[in-house]
Amino acid sequence: MARDFFDELSDTITRTTKDLGKKAGQLYETQKIRSKISSEEQIVQKLKADIGNVIFEKYKEGAELDEALKGFCEEIQQHLDIIAGYRDSAAELKGQKICPACGRHVDRSVSFCPFCGSVCPTPQPETETAEGDVIDSETEETAAKETAAEAENEAEEAEETAAEAENEAEKAEETAAEAENEAEEAEATVEAENETEETTE
């Protein structure tokens, strides 16, 4: 009678251990699949970005594009022009200008870029309009302040994006750590199952 009880108990423990080992293995395999999916999705996003870069280069070379693609490229160029304006403003505040050939910051007084040797003209600020009216300095100051405020907002947005990326990276590390712990638990469960089977035999 007592032996039957212990035999049944041993069988129950063995079945429970097998079930736990199976579930742990399933969790580990599921996490591995999720990681592979995430990796493939990142590759797809990079390939899409590469396609966009190729199309934009064709646009800059003057190639004929579909109207929809051309519209996207024109919008990209507008934003690039805005960025260039911000960079020029930032360089001017430091008494510098940007070389149109290599994009390096150089002293505003030089005529040739000391880095690449290209002609580096100094933009002359307009003091009069086509009608001969003097430009209102207060308006220019207001525009400069607005530009600086926009640049500051973009910097804040960039910081927020970086913080979000950092949080996502931390979550990914936590997920990887959990998967590793689950794998270790699965291995321990399998070892316990083997030991139980050996004891039963």
d(CA 16, CA 195): 14
Binned at pLDDT 50, 70 and 90, residue 113 comes out as: very high
Alpha-carbon dihedral angle through residues 119, 120, 122, 123, given to the nearest 10 degrees: 100
- The whole-number pLDDT of residue 121 equals 87
Q: Which of 62, 148, 115 is nearest to 100 (CA)?
A: 115
Beta bridge partners, 112, equal: 119
How far is 114 from 99, CA to CA, in rounded Å?
Answer: 9
pLDDT at 134: 44
51-67 confidence digits (pLDDT tens): 999 999 999 999 999 99
**Exposed, middle or buried: residue 149 (CB in 10 Å: 0-12, 13-18, 19+)?**
exposed
- What pLDDT digit, counting tens, does each position of 150-182 carry? 766 776 776 777 677 777 767 767 776 776 777
Stretch (H or E) spanning 179:
helix 137-200
- d(CA 11, CA 159) in angstroms, rounded, equals 58
Q: Which of 31-35, 68-72, 129-133 has the highest mean pLDDT?
A: 68-72
Say which residue, 159 or 125, is predicted with more confidence: 159
